[in-house]
Homo-oligomer: A and B are copies of this chain.
Amino acid sequence: MGACQSFREMCDREKNTNVHLSLPAVCIVWQTAMIILFGVFMRYDHESDAHWVEHRKHLNLTDIENDFYFRYPSFQDVHVMIFVGFGFLMTFLKRYSFGGVGFNFLIAAFGLQWALLMQGWFHWLDADGKIRIGIENLINADFCVAGCLIAYGALLGKVSPVQLMVLTLFGITLFAVEEFIILSVIHARDAGGSMVIHTFGGYYGLSVSWMLYRPNLHQSSRLQGSVYHSDVFAMIGTLFLWMFWPSFNSAICDHGDGQHRAAINTYLCLASTVLTTVAISSLFQKHGKLDMVHIQNSTLAGGVAAGTAAEFMLMPYGCLIVGFCCGIISTLGYIFLTPFMEKHLKIQDTCGIHNLHAMPGVVGGIVGAITAASASVEVYGHEGLANTFDFEGKFKDMVPTTQGGHQAAGLCVALCFGIGGGIIVGAILRLPIWGDPADDNCFDDETYWEVPEEEESIPTILQYNNHVQNKDIAESNFTMESESRARS
């Protein structure tokens, strides 16, 4: 910790938020690298290649059995979650809506390209050294990006776009390795990514945030809240996440009953979460008033927790129970844990991703392990069991109880990669070269965006007032200007 302390001091220099050269350079160079790597490695798969006509006749398939029609509607829903869901959920701050939705857009657009490559190398490499992509790869790339966007939630308002690009580059890389280990080596199942996406992404972001701890962040506290309309904008994000979560958890499930069941499970889990979130929010506020932060975030915890077990026979009541618990845990997290972590653990978590992703992700991993361990032939049927848990190839002799253990092992891997990776990447992001904002400049779009000027009328009154009487006005003038910026 002593070394860490001195490292921190080394990094705390005068801040320069000018990204005039670094941001364009990163974008152009990395995009060029993508083009070269795509040129070398990336090709269409059987179902998206023009040879499909011949291929499908060979396999005696009709056009509608192209994987596109199984997965495209879910893909589009996932896509909406990534860009509108995550993006608008982060518009809640009064003066960081541009950064919330805009940087989310930037890093997701970069991340999905890098994810296609990384996941391609691990999972989709053909004998000729080419990656063959189809609709399922696009969904997986979006999933991979989600992990990094979750991490962004912890850092919202405190980092520069260049830092976010670096965070994403390393985040995607770590994700792809972790996912390979969990899904392919350990053979854990994780259709909706409770472990792979949410646990990893959550702890990755929290660890980075811990490394980037700002003791004087209170200097920006005037901007670290919402205004009325920014809360309504954030509800757009919340609702699109909530509504499309059944698509998220079912998008890459098995054709047929797998996708069908995952959608139903997630739908039920989320419904239940809303009620307990409202209950706890009302119970712990003065006069039973509801807090928008809880409604915006904790209502989604059920979707996170339903991820791993989405495809399993969790049963409708099981889903409701999972949602019930997650609504409570997540809301209590916002009320008690987030302030505690900021004060005592030096983890500043702008969006409360610990309560929305990290904890419910762990819950989801545990639920998945239990559900897998208790699977039986009576409930799934012989073929159903093999199908759902993918007991084939070298895993064809596995039994549900063993699978439960593998699930638990997968959760540990996700935790380790999240925390370990976050600390390393956090150390890199502390280097004083990334253009991050000063402590009194956080949560402010002015730093990285051309913000439209508001009409000049309020200052005009003040000038008039100054003209009338010129004392005591300095302070009022100051608040006036900040008001003028915060308005609209």
Contact = CB atoms under 8 A, between A and B. Distances in A.
Copies of this chain in its oligomeric complex: 3
B465 A464 contact: yes
B472 A464 contact: yes
Contact of A31 (B52, B79, B324): B324
Given A255-B63, A288-B21, A50 B240 contact: no
Interface stretch (A108-116, A213-221, A415-423): A108-116
Given A54-B383, A283-B24, A460 B487 contact: no
Contact of A53 (B77, B110, B387): B387
Nearest to A290: B449
Contacts of A230: 488
Contacts of A288: 18-24, 448
A432 interface: no
Contacts of A64: 64-65, 69-70, 255
Q: Which size bracket describes the interface of A in this complex?
A: 35 or more
A271 B47 contact: no
Interface in A307-348: 313, 315-317, 320-321, 324
A38 B315 CA distance: 9
Given A50-B261, A240-B84, A449-B289, A455 B476 contact: no
A77 B74 CA distance: 12
A306 B452 CA distance: 32
Contacts of A255: 63-64, 66
A143 to B, nearest CB: 14
A469 B468 contact: yes
Contacts of A109: 270-275, 299
Interface string A41-55: 011100111111110
A289 B232 CA distance: 26
A256 to B, nearest CB: 4
Contacts of A289: 448-450
A207 interface: no
A373 interface: no
Contact of A476 (B27, B313, B460): B460
Considering the complex of A and B, which 8 residue pairs feature the smallest CB-CB distances, nearest first?
Answer: A20-B288, A50-B384, A457-B483, A52-B257, A109-B274, A27-B279, A39-B317, A42-B316
